[in-house]
Amino acid sequence: MVSPDLAMDFKKCCLQNDLAFINNSYLCISLFLEYMVHLTHRPRRNRKSAVIRDLVQETQVTVNDLIFPLFLIDGKNKKSEVNSMPGIFRLSPDLMLKEIEECMKLGIKTFDIFPSLTDKYKDKKATESLNKKGLYLSTLREIKKKFPEAVIMTDVAMDPYSSDGHDGLVKNGEILNDETLEILAKMAVAQAEAGADIIGPSDMMDGRVGFIREALDEEGFTNVSIMSYTAKYASAFYGPFRDALDSAPKFGDKKTYQMNPGNSKEALIEADLDFMEGADFLMVKPALSYLDIIKLLNDNFNIPIAAYNVSGEYAMVKAAAAKGWIDGDRVRDEILLSMKRAGASVILTYFAKEFAKSIK
């Protein structure tokens, strides 16, 4: 062991930086070697081989953690790629059933379905969202009939059906809160009737989780879960999703209901409310730029935290990988891992299928 006196000498030699240093260089090196030999903690020991690295790995992403978002369009045998999301397609019902079948074989069992509707199905009140024979609800029914063991999550918000492109009811340029709740609750019940296992309110209206919970319970859907978009930020990362559904707001932005990216304490308020109102999962969205929020909610709440790895996060990886600037597969895996490490036990991601393929 290096004695304190010798260590002091060593330090002095170095500080003097003169002949004494040169004269003592032999001593310095031997002291250094002696010091190294006696290192008690060498974290590199746990990194010395692939087997040991795997043995001590704290966090691992599996297909069980993933929810695959899918875009639905009308028609038969129709498939159209989302320009800003290479590899992601809007699918007609028949092809969606095939896609789900393929994914189930790869081990993905939970799907979040979003409808892409043409303008003729849109109005101010999102009436189409309640149409049992319409594209969305009838396809949900088919999916559940064919794959009863699959878990189907649905989206509750007005935007895919709204001629205003907003998540709530618009009056004189204002997004109304309480009037929207009635529509959302009916939407949730209609989706539950069609077989939804998890309802995903993505609208950010105040009080919607409690309102929806009550409506579901009244109709006997006490077993239908709610994954609340708890901390959903007004984000530029949703751009490609809005391309996919043609659902961008027709005026203004979503900043009066979605959260300000500068805030984290507000996420705790939203989480408190959602928890008290009966949410089964708390979601943070987007995920990658909000890992601190995922951790914050996971540290403070004892229900599962979900992270939505959103469209823009997917698009960035795909774009850079296409240019050969990054290794897309490794970046994908690292991103998913970071979300889980931050505290998300569920990850909604467009990478789900390719991730599942990559580990097969």
Position 153 contacts ligand PBG (CB under 6 A): no
Strand partners, 71: 90, 114
SS3 category, 344? coil
Out of 128, 167, 270, 274, point to the residue binding ligand PBG (CB under 6 A).
Answer: 167
Of 15-23, 118-126, 153-161, 171-179: span binding ligand PBG (CB under 6 A): 153-161
SS3 category, 120? helix
Out of 71, 241, 257, 301, point to the residue binding ligand PBG (CB under 6 A).
Answer: 241
Taking the C-alpha atoms of residue 314 and residue 305, their distance in angstroms, rounded to an integer, is: 20
Out of 128, 155, 164, 280, point to the residue binding ligand PBG (CB under 6 A).
Answer: 155
Strand partners, 169: 176
**Selection from 204, 109, 122 nearest residue 156 by Cα:** 204
- 155 or 274: whose CB is closer to ligand PBG? 155
- 24 or 80: whose CB is closer to ligand PBG? 80
- 191 or 202: whose CB is closer to ligand PBG? 202
Nearest-CB residue for ligand PBG: 241
Position 111 contacts ligand PBG (CB under 6 A): no
Out of 310, 317, 339, 344, point to the residue binding ligand PBG (CB under 6 A).
Answer: 310
Rounded to the nearest whole angstrom, what is the least distance from the CB of residue 50 to ligand PBG in the complex? 34
Out of 68, 71, 238, 351, point to the residue binding ligand PBG (CB under 6 A).
Answer: 238
Position 226 contacts ligand PBG (CB under 6 A): no
List the structure tokens of 282: 């708390």
Rounded to the nearest whole angstrom, what is the least distance from the CB of residue 4 to ligand PBG in the complex? 59
- 115 or 134: whose CB is closer to ligand PBG? 115
- 128 or 159: whose CB is closer to ligand PBG? 159
Long-range pairs, 81-86, Cβ under 8 A, ≥24: 82/240, 82/243, 82/244, 83/243, 84/239, 84/240, 84/243, 84/244, 84/311, 84/315, 85/240, 85/243, 85/244, 85/311, 85/314, 85/315, 85/318, 85/350, 86/318, 86/322
Task: Find out whether 208 and 201 touch, Cβ atoms under 8 Å.
Answer: yes
Position 164 contacts ligand PBG (CB under 6 A): no
Indicate the angle between helix axes 93-105 and 135-146, nearest 10 degrees: 40
Position 230 contacts ligand PBG (CB under 6 A): no
Q: Residue written as tokens 């260089």? A: 25
Taking the C-alpha atoms of residue 5 and residue 20, their distance in angstroms, rounded to an integer, is: 17
What amino acid is encoded at 80 in this protein? S
Of 72-80, 145-153, 219-227, 235-243: span binding ligand PBG (CB under 6 A): 235-243
Rounded to the nearest whole angstrom, what is the least distance from the CB of residue 130 to ligand PBG in the complex? 17
Active-site amino acid positions: 232, 285
Out of 84, 110, 191, 311, point to the residue binding ligand PBG (CB under 6 A).
Answer: 311
Residues 195-214 that bind ligand PBG (CB under 6 A): 202-203
Which chain residues interact with ligand PBG by CB under 6 A?
155, 157, 159, 167, 202-203, 238, 241-242, 254, 310-311
